[in-house]
Amino acid sequence: MHSTTAHFSVLFAVIGLAFGQSQNITYEDCGSNAQILSAVMDPCDSDPCVLKRRGTSLIRYSMISDQDSNTATLDAWMKILGINVRVPGIEKDLCKKTVKCPVVKGKTYNGTMEVYVPWYIPPMTRVVDIEISG
Dump pLDDT digits (tens) for 9-22: 454 444 333 444 77
CATH number of residue 94's parent domain: 2.60.40.770
User: 76-105 pLDDT, tens per residue?
Assistant: 888 888 898 888 778 889 899 888 899 999
User: 50-82 pLDDT, tens per residue?
Assistant: 888 888 888 888 889 999 999 998 888 888 888
Residue 126, domain extent: 4-133
How much is the pTM?
0.73
What is the CB neighbour count within 10 angstroms for residue 48?
18
Q: How many structural domains are present in the chain?
A: 1
DSSP string computed for the chain: ---EEEEEEEEEEEES------EEPPEEE-S-SSEEEEEEEES--SSSEEEETTEEEEEEEEEE-SS-BS--EEEEEEEETTEEEEPTT---BHHHHT--SSB-TT-EEEEEEEEEE-TTPPSEEEEEEEEEE-
In this predicted structure, the answer to whether residue 4 has a pLDDT above a threshold of 90 is: no
